[in-house]
Each structure stands twice: as structure tokens, then as C-alpha cells.
Amino acid sequence: MKYGFQRVFKEECRALIRAPKRLFYVLVFPLILFGFLSAIFIEGVPRDLPIAYLDQDQSKMSTQLVRMIDSSPSIAMATKVLNEAEAQQFIQQNKIYGFVVIPKDFQKSIYKGVPSEVVCYTNNQFLLPAGLIQKDFQQIIGTFSAGVAMNKSMQQGNQGELAYANQLPVRTDIHALFNPYVNYAYYLLTALLPMMLQMIAMMITVYVIGIPLKYRTGEYWLKLAGGSAWSALWGKLLPYTICLAFVSWWMNYLLFELIGVPLRTSMLSVTLITFLLTFIYQLLGVSIISISKDLRTAMTMGSGFTAIAMSFAVYTFPIEGLPKSMQYLAEIFPFKHYMEYFVNRAIRGIPLSWTIEPMLVLAGFAFIFVLTFPLFVKLIKKGGYEQV
């Protein structure tokens, strides 16, 4: 059994070196993909999102407000329009994300003490830019309004501190606990990179194990392993497991060392849980191969299962907001449990004793492999899939 494993392992290592495509997909492609995704979000936070403005007042105060809005980090008052129809046309052409309308008699209404309404329209088809624009716009309008009210209060004889207290009797003190920079690279790459990794682990495994079964060379494979299906399987999988272990380490090194995502646990801890994720998906890949009627079906099942995992990881949408049936369905995806542990330990720094449950559930998916391994043994012994 020992020598059979070594023969299969050495044979697969030689095949991996002789097949540049296979080596590229398991080792080089993930590194390129991680670099590409990191480059997309390198800025971290979107800046200077273009919007238009319609200043119907053309007063000193309206000009000051335009300058204040333009000075906000997320907004660039890029275009001055003559009417709302022109602004809507720019939105339809995707040249701007929204526009601001300052009404006529804006300054006069303020001096009279009459409320004046400044309107901000945003294109909510793009939720992230629209949300950032609305947030900065509300802050600027609040600051501008407070400044106007303070000036009036001081003209009435109130001192600066008293005037400020009159306008803001209740102050807020908001602290962002785990992503204080509101950095979207920290937020999105933490999920996107493992998402890509689990897809690669699944598809490589299904392909590598499925090819000899497709061409019915399973008997030769089993003979090379000394008649042991266990040795045949792990001798073939181990070279790819080693490659995926390196990719797991590199992914975490990229995230926490190069990009700078704050890490609240050890690098070893996050690397091990990421390696466990790839290992579990290798086991599930073997299970899918074992229950499929051909390689095409196995590839379809593997790609579909991993592709929708992000949706059920409920990373960008709270699980409490899903229907109960979807909450239960989310539990069948290992990626969901990995993200729960990964975020709690690496990002939030929650103690291991409080976060061990998702890790145990993730490891528990290996039981599916145990159940389906007899089917794999049966499949390899008869040489592979039935020819249609």
C-alpha cells in the first residue's frame, strides 16, 4: 500500500510537470486572479464620484454650498446643468451618478428663516456609489445648516460655545469597530479571494480525478497503486493539495501583509482554516465524482455548487433577512461556515472558544466523503464511467 501510494504520487507529480496547463490552473492562475481582484479594489474607497448640479439661485450661499459638497471625499461636482432634463440625460448615459438641485430664492429663504429644500437625486441602480453620495450629501447639508443657524444665534448675542450647544443639544459619537477606514478592499477581498479559491479547489479536483475515469483508465490507476483505492486517490490528489496549501498561504499573506487588512489573530490560524476549506472542497469534489454518471455532470455540479456559495455565505446581506428556507439551505455550503469563522477570528478577533462551532461544522463535511468513498472504490474498480 505504501509503495503503491508513492508510485501514484510520483507519477502524478511528473504528469503535473509535463502538463503546463494543469500546473497553470492550480498554481499560477489563482495568483494572477488574486492579483487582478486586488488591483481592482486597490483604492479601498471610491473617491470623487461625478455628479451634476443645478443652481437655480446663483447666489453667494448657493455657490458656497456647491463648493462644500464638492470638497467632500466621495463627490465631485463635475457638471453644471441648465435643467433637470439635461441631468437625467447624463444619468441615462452613465456619465454621472446623481445630481443636486438648489432651488430659486435659496439664500433669500434662509435670511427670512423659511426652510429651503436642496434635493439630491441618485441612481440607485449603483447602490454603492449612491449610498456614498447620499451619506456625504447629508453630512454636508447638516454642517451647512448648523453653520447658518450658529451665525444667526451669534448675531443675537450668544457666544460661540452656547450657539453651538443650542444647535446640537445631542451629539453623536460613532465608532466603527472592525473596519474603521470603511475600506471596501478590506471588506470585499476578504470574501472574494476565498470564494475564488474554493472554486479552483473543487474544479481542479473534479477534473484530475474525473479524467482517468472518463477514459476508463481506472484499472491501470488502481494497479499502479497496488490495488488500493485509498492509495490511488491520495497519491493522485496530494500534489494538488500541496499546491493549494501554498495558494492558501499566499492568499492570506496578500490580504493581511501586502494589502494591510487588520488581522486580529495569528497568520498560522487563518492559513490553517483556509487550507481546511480547500481540503474539504477536494473531498467534496471526490464525492461529486463518485455520484455522477459522467465527467460532464460532475463538472456541472461542482461549478454550480461553488458558484452560488457566495450568495449563501450571507456576507453582504444579513442571514436574518433571508426566508427561513434559505437560512436552512445556507447551512449546506462549507463556504458559509468558513466565512463565519474567518471573519469572527481574523477580522473581529473573537476568541476561539466562541467561534469553534463553524470550524467543526466545516470539518464535518468530510463525513460526506466517508459516505461516498465506497462508490468511488466501485467506480475505479470497474475502470471508470460507463461509455454511452
Which pairs from 376-380 meet CB under 8 Å and 24+ separation? 376/229, 376/233, 376/286, 376/289, 376/290, 377/229, 379/213, 379/218, 379/289, 379/290, 380/213, 380/218, 380/219, 380/221, 380/222, 380/229, 380/232
Cell numbers at residue 375, please? 462508490
* pLDDT by position in tens, the chain (length 388): 567 889 999 999 998 888 888 889 999 999 999 999 999 888 777 888 999 999 999 898 889 999 999 988 889 998 899 899 999 999 988 899 999 999 998 888 888 878 888 999 998 888 888 888 998 999 888 888 877 776 666 666 555 555 555 555 556 666 656 555 567 788 888 989 999 999 999 999 999 999 999 999 888 898 998 889 999 999 999 999 999 999 999 999 999 999 888 888 899 999 999 999 999 999 999 999 999 999 999 999 999 999 988 888 767 677 777 788 888 888 999 999 999 898 888 888 888 888 889 999 999 999 999 999 999 999 999 888 887 5
DSSP letter (8 states) at residue 323? -
Instruction: State which H helix or E strand residue 144 sits in.
Output: helix 127-155
115 in Cβ contact with 129 (< 8 Å):
no
| Matching residue, cell 447602490 | 127
The Cα–Cα gap between 330 and 54 comes to: 47
Beta-carbon count within 10 A of 145 CB: 15
57 in Cβ contact with 103 (< 8 Å):
yes
- Please give the pLDDT value at position 180: 55
